[in-house]
Structures are given as structure tokens and as C-alpha cells.
A and B are shown apart, each in its own frame.
Chain A
């Protein structure tokens, strides 16, 4: 990306923040969200985040590697297990990075 495109992207991302965060603060009571739409608004970000995380965990140099020798996959599974039991963000990052570093040395 050129410097200009990068700044344009940063401005557009700022617009994305304001559009979503301030949405109902500005609309007020004018619009009510039906339950179906509320569900969709939760499913979409979960799907999007998974679609970013999954390839980073499962692909090694563009090739699928679902095996015990893939340190990112194992560290990701370990970090997810840690977060599920503790709900602790900082701990999850530390445990995941520790596992990742350790596995890269060992495998």
C-alpha cells in the first residue's frame, strides 16, 4: 500500500469505528433491533474474527498443516483452553506466546 492509501484506510477505519460505536447513541429510540438482527450482529463479528485467526493457526507457508508439528496450531489450542477456563486476556496472551516459543524450540 502507498502512504496515501494507508492514510485513506486509517480514515475509513475511523469512520467504521464511529458508524458502529455511535450508531444507536445518535439514532436514539427511533429504531429498535429485532432479536433476529441482534443475533446476526453477534454472529458476523465471530465469523469474521474466526476467518482471520484460523488461517494463521492452520496454514504454514500457505499449506494446510493440521498436525502436532505446527507450533501456532498447538499454541492456539492451548491459549483457547486457557481462556475458556480463566477468561483472562493477559494470561491468554502470555500462555499462548510461551507455548508458541517453547514449541518452536522443541519441534
Chain B
């Protein structure tokens, strides 16, 4: 008797996660063509910037971070030191730290290796969709969260990797004259805009742009890191100024 009850309860929990998984897939579906295209652009950019097909596939399946990949490619092509490429990717990825801080409390009940696994998949699209379905007030409930999260993340992974592999394989068929590498710049541009959340961020973006252009000829592509540091400092200065003005 109690056995039957336990197994029914188990089945209901499994059903619930499955339903949540489908719900997550549905929530993410409208974004998937964009993710697929972004993956394809990144796949092409990797091969066009000189990676072999195996290196490009390795980068896509291991790194799994479009903006960091696109940011690294010109540096790698220009023979920048490995540490400069690493630092640049790390800075571009810093936004994921906020995403992790926002989403992770919902998974605090899981063992560390599962949390690490979910963290690896926690990209821009989950940050846009998960908190809408599970606001902060639901942090102590667990039902449906893993299902919903995986539904978004795994469709995102498939769309991204599918696009990327096709891009890698197509790249050699596309003539250099199409300038397809520029599509990578356009994708980065579209990622930058939502990150420009207030006037402080805007000042940071403008200052970093000007410094990057002025310092483009510095050796080892150090102009990029210089631009980030100066842009960051400018943004934080405006941030502090606005804070003070608000308090006064």
C-alpha cells in the first residue's frame, strides 16, 4: 500500500518536471532562431579567423560562450599573448557572475556537481526567462525549477551548437568577399546594447570605444585591455557621482 503511494508520488514529481521542461522549451522557442544564427556566425568567424575545423569544434563545445569566443578570435588571429586573450574573455564573461548570483539560490538544495553543471548552462537567455517564471519569492520552493531551467538551457545548447557546427562546416564554402566576419561584430553590438543599463554604463561604453580606437595600434592588442580599464573607471566614477546626487 505505502509502496504504491510512494511510487505514485514519485511519478507525479517526474511528470511535474517533464511538464516544466516542456514549458521551458516553449518559453525559449521564440529566441532559438536568433541563438541558431548567432551560433552560425560564431562558427564561421572561428574558421575564417584561422582555426582548424577541429579547433573550432573544440572551442564551440568546450567554451560555449559566444561573446567571449567572438571577442577572442581577433586577438588570437593577431597573435596576442594567451593571458591577454584569457583576461579579455574573463571580463566579457563577468556578466555571468551576476546571472549566477541571481539564479543560483533557486538551486541551493542540489549537490555541488549538479549546481556546477547547471551553472555552465546558465547563459543570457536563462537570465531573461527564468526570473520571470520563478521570481525571488519562490526561492524556497523546488518544484518544476530544474525542469523549466533545463528546458530552456538544453534547447539553447542545441540551437547554439547546431548553428555553430553548420557555420564551421559552411565557412570554407563562403567567399572571403562576403565579409561574413562582420556578422560577428553585429552580434556583439546587439549583446552590448542591453548591457548598457544606465548613463554610467553608457559613459563607460563611449569612453572604452574612444580609447580602443585611439590605442588600436598598441602591441599585443593591449589597447583593448587599456580601453576596458579606462572605460570601467569612467563608468564607476559616474556611478559614484549619481549615487551621491541621489543621496543629497
Q: Which residues of A contact B (CB under 8 A)?
A: 1, 3, 5-29, 33, 36, 38-59, 62, 64, 72, 75-76, 79-80, 83-84, 87-90, 92-94, 96-97, 100-101, 104
Contacts and interface: CB of A to CB of B under 8 A. Distances in A.
What interface size band does chain B fall in?
Answer: 35 or more
Interface string B69-100: 11110101001001001101111111111111
Contacts of B74: 52, 56
A76 to B, nearest CB: 6
Interface of B: 31, 33-35, 37-38, 41, 51-52, 55, 58-59, 62-65, 67-72, 74, 76, 79, 82, 85-86, 88-101, 103-105, 107-108, 112, 115-116, 118-123, 178-180, 182-183, 185-197, 200-201, 204-213, 216-217, 223-224, 227-228, 231-232, 235-236, 239
A20 B190 contact: no
B63 A17 contact: yes
Query: Which interface residue of A17, A90, A96 has the most chain B CB atoms within 10 A?
Result: A17
Contact of B228 (A20, A23, A29, A44): A44
Given A24-B100, A39-B200, A76-B186, A49 B120 contact: no
B107 to A, nearest CB: 7
A18 B89 CA distance: 12
B89 A45 contact: no
Given A29-B108, A56-B185, A46 B179 contact: no
Contacts of B183: 93, 96-97
Contact of A25 (B58, B71, B115): B115
Nearest to A99: B186
Given A20-B94, A20-B97, A45-B94, A39 B193 contact: no
Contacts of A3: 52, 55
Nearest to B80: A1
Which of B85, B88, B194 has the most C-beta atoms of chain A within 10 angstroms of its own C-beta? B85
Contacts of A50: 192, 204-206, 208-209, 212, 227, 231
Contacts of A19: 90, 93
A25 B223 CA distance: 33
B63 A10 contact: yes
Nearest to B240: A36
A90 B171 CA distance: 18
A26 B115 contact: yes
Contacts of B180: 97
B68 A96 contact: no
A22 B119 contact: yes
